[in-house]
Structure 1
């Protein structure tokens, strides 16, 4: 059996021992326990942000019942991950749909719909054993056909192109077994089985329908701990306890109500007064965060987020942004440290490299750098034949920032002012989320966007999405939109896809970074240190990492 090349302790075991460990984890979970399936490496701790207040420890016995009021912003455009896998969507639907596995805080895989995943000796097949007795929320039995359908039909529509690219075929030899056969050995496959792209969808409700217009997209039917009840757009989304959830005694909560609140001051007031118990991903301004974290009834959680970066992506089809000198000038014009300090309240770190510090084994130190240097920016623009004209402007540039809230708009304003200082008449697009998503990912109607994304412990998928040929997926949100193409990048990423030689992967990833940092189709600005605001009545919110993936089955509310 091939080794994963990810977890040294796990890799040190003999092949039979590793397979036995995977099977035993699943067998234990079948009895209701929650063991950890050995796998992966947890992301390295982020550089220190303002210290969060400590959440109250959970009592020994969870209390049953209650309604968790959480804040949703911006409102999801859909509740279908295969249409738009954005974080506003995943934060809600991760409670409705379960995945085969989830990632634990220790970096190991935790079984959910699946009990085990076993790799063949030649590394060309993975056998996934499923849990018995699971039903969809409409009462239809869950089984291997659902998993086969999801992998073959739904997963290719998500960002997870690294996974689907290596699959030769998927078979379901019996109702509780799925066999994934690969074109080549790919030991890091298990990393993707617990990712947010690995949602299992109901075959009986989607097969033979239009996947974009299917009514289940906005009235989802899952297998998770909470059942969709209603969605009043602009107001709220209600999820209710699944009485037939497959983990005995769970969930603890009676319901979750997601309140749609687009104004940050209103969100802060609701959290302060207890009208809301929970909000994720920087729900309030940083000045409000400093105030709220001092209150006895609230805590700020910064630990439960994956390494994430915020970037500018250029449309290389544009005659101006197709010039490397223009992209380099933009890089030199922006003071990243000041951006982190003034806009992001210190909840981040300036970044002048493709890979964040949370993946230290892959960080490259000798790639091109673009320090803050407005004079150098002006020199590059002059040399490119773009001098200042009457009024002091060189050219006009539209920046369509991702419309996820105040922090993102203020980032757009910061970039606008930085570019205007070197003679670029930068204006902000200001589109709503649906329009922005359509124009950027389907129409390619933009000059420059700002967006963000998270990184898995193995960066293959992120490199594919941002720089490789597998990222060219028109109509798939958060795929590559720059139009960048480099045959050497594609060759290097194809070589790393097998994952067998860990040392070779690291070398190739460093080569990729050197090339893309010189070509600069994407300009990384900062590492984001997201925070959540959590009421102290809320327990087990940190049971698993990555709150947009946590299904909240074990979250509970104390009476006081």
Structure 2
């Protein structure tokens, strides 16, 4: 399977863009109740960095919730607690943890007017689990043995083992069988012409430019006040900030140094979101240098994570020692790695990597050097890559940084290092399994380093197959301690997301966010509940 992981760069985050041409430079807020209009502001244009590859839940879109075109059986609220969505209530779970029963909300319709029912839930999950469907995250549903409708409004999931976080996986969007079921899930038009039950419907997708949505006036949760919503994909951070300042955008995600420039603007507000989002460097097993355990261990202590947080993130984040943030209950205390250049040199000396010409180490005729790719236009990745290469050079390891698009980078991932990102809130299984399971090496953006550690594989499986929290904690502690012995990746920072938005609406909040930061995240995670401020004044 070659489908990209949801964690990948063209992640499932719902995005869109204004064209990066002169045609897109006009102020999108100048019409339809925004900009200079005296009426209620009913449209919003926000800028983000990534575009989805698909809008089909069958291929991974929206698996963490907040897809806007679709709904899941359950949804996360602002505090990341599960709430009923297409399900009428939270599931009934059997005592052995093997059966989950969902009662379906009645009277819900898809945006084409057709009724939603249990059959659509069954169709969605069965299609995702079909080996022929190119969904790179289907291993997150590995526990599902059977899904069936026991009536028009009841769905029962039977599991192979008591998978503790299963309910959290049922935020996955539901596709309509009467439309998607008539197409090939991998190649059908549904991936670009989606129909769902969500608060918005897609009106236009200009690939590489923009996705535009209109409010679903018949939405079961009530019609949104923001009637038109456009996501602008602007890959370059500086360009995104410029567009926001000029009025082309109503909001945008920005790196800390650019968000800082809007602090004095009384017409804009900055929203910070805590995240599980990390930046790391893949150290491919198939690279003679990056795959060497001593090189990996040396880099793990040569890197100055605190300096990256202070200088690159300007304090908006924290050091990362693995996929689990240090303030999580799942973090294994004692696995923090202190910046220690001398220790890095000692590790390399002991392994036979001796200083050679220009201070670059060599072993058996092989120089300690390898390339490191980062995404073009992504300032945070660029800054992380440059800092990492600088720290590595002090230890005698030469890293050449290269910028490229994912089309350029992806074919090189088996042997070249990549400044990557990942992270998923909630259960530790969600990110760690896709990141570290050896069987997923080379599966798109899953296990990009081709990491192969049998102790980690066993711990990941053990943690999946029990509901005993203490046993699960012990298993994930094992994973994190194995990453100290043989990193496979150098984890650098966990990043807080910063968003700058025009102060024209009430109701904006943020959630704890995944790596993915598009429509699924940011203050627009609940855009359907925004209220224009001038409208609130008239209502008072």
Q: Tell me the TM-score normalised to structure 2 length.
A: 0.81
**Is 1:493 equivalent to 2:460 in the alignment?**
yes
| Aligned 8 A contact 1:354 1:517 in 2 | no
What do the CA deviations read for 1:278-306 (whole angstroms, capped 9, x no partner)?
Answer: 223xx2x4333223123211111113x43
**Is 1:169 equivalent to 2:146 in the alignment?**
yes
Structure 2 counterpart of 1:181, from 153, 158, 165: 158
**Is 1:292 equivalent to 2:268 in the alignment?**
no
Q: Tell me the TM-score normalised to structure 1 length.
A: 0.78
**Is 1:553 equivalent to 2:519 in the alignment?**
no
Structure 1 counterpart of 2:381, from 408, 412, 425: 408
Structure 1 counterpart of 2:425, from 456, 460, 464: 456
What do the CA deviations read for 1:126-183 (whole angstroms, capped 9, x no partner)?
Answer: 1111122222223333222221122222267556556411111111122322110011
| Aligned 8 A contact 1:309 1:525 in 2 | yes
**Is 1:224 equivalent to 2:198 in the alignment?**
yes
Per the TM alignment, residue 97 of structure 1 is displaced from its structure 2 partner at its CA by: 1.8
**Is 1:103 equivalent to 2:80 in the alignment?**
no
**Is 1:71 equivalent to 2:40 in the alignment?**
no
1:45 aligned partner: none
2:474 aligned partner: 507
Other structure's SS at 2:309 match: helix
Partners of 1:162 and 1:404 lie apart in 2 by 32
Other structure's SS at 1:428 match: strand
| Aligned 8 A contact 1:226 1:241 in 2 | yes
Equivalent residues, number: 479
Per the TM alignment, residue 524 of structure 1 is displaced from its structure 2 partner at its CA by: 1.6
Partners of 1:404 and 1:245 lie apart in 2 by 37
Partners of 2:527 and 2:74 lie apart in 1 by 14
| Aligned 8 A contact 1:302 1:531 in 2 | yes
| Aligned 8 A contact 1:73 1:404 in 2 | no
| Aligned 8 A contact 2:272 2:510 in 1 | no
Structure 1 pair 403–190 and aligned structure 2 pair: CA distance change class (3 A): farther
Structure 1 pair 403–358 and aligned structure 2 pair: CA distance change class (3 A): farther
Other structure's SS at 1:113 match: coil
Partners of 1:530 and 1:175 lie apart in 2 by 42
Structure 1 pair 410–84 and aligned structure 2 pair: CA distance change class (3 A): farther
Structure 1 pair 155–226 and aligned structure 2 pair: CA distance change class (3 A): farther
| Aligned 8 A contact 2:60 2:137 in 1 | no
1:18 aligned partner: none
| Aligned 8 A contact 1:68 1:257 in 2 | yes
| Aligned 8 A contact 2:62 2:520 in 1 | no
Partners of 1:400 and 1:205 lie apart in 2 by 40
Gaps of 5+ in 2: 1-38, 362-366, 514-518, 536-540
| Of 221-230 and 182-191, the range deviating more from structure 2 | 182-191
Other structure's SS at 2:324 match: coil
Other structure's SS at 2:494 match: strand
Partners of 1:386 and 1:473 lie apart in 2 by 27
Partners of 2:57 and 2:280 lie apart in 1 by 23
| Aligned 8 A contact 1:150 1:201 in 2 | yes
**Is 1:244 equivalent to 2:218 in the alignment?**
yes
Partners of 1:278 and 1:136 lie apart in 2 by 29
Structure 1 pair 505–235 and aligned structure 2 pair: CA distance change class (3 A): closer
Per the TM alignment, residue 474 of structure 1 is displaced from its structure 2 partner at its CA by: 4.5
Matches within 5 A, 1:14-413: 66-80=42-56, 83=59, 94-116=67-89, 117-154=91-128, 158=135, 160-161=137-138, 163-194=140-171, 198-207=172-181, 209-248=183-222, 250-280=223-253, 283=254, 285-303=255-273, 305-359=274-328, 361-367=329-335, 369-394=336-361, 395=367, 396-402=369-375, 405-413=378-386
Other structure's SS at 2:400 match: strand
Partners of 2:127 and 2:197 lie apart in 1 by 18
Structure 1 pair 124–81 and aligned structure 2 pair: CA distance change class (3 A): closer
1:539 aligned partner: 506
Per the TM alignment, residue 86 of structure 1 is displaced from its structure 2 partner at its CA by: 9.0
Per the TM alignment, residue 402 of structure 1 is displaced from its structure 2 partner at its CA by: 4.5
Partners of 1:153 and 1:425 lie apart in 2 by 46
Per the TM alignment, residue 375 of structure 1 is displaced from its structure 2 partner at its CA by: 3.2
Structure 1 pair 473–227 and aligned structure 2 pair: CA distance change class (3 A): farther
Other structure's SS at 1:115 match: coil
Other structure's SS at 1:445 match: coil
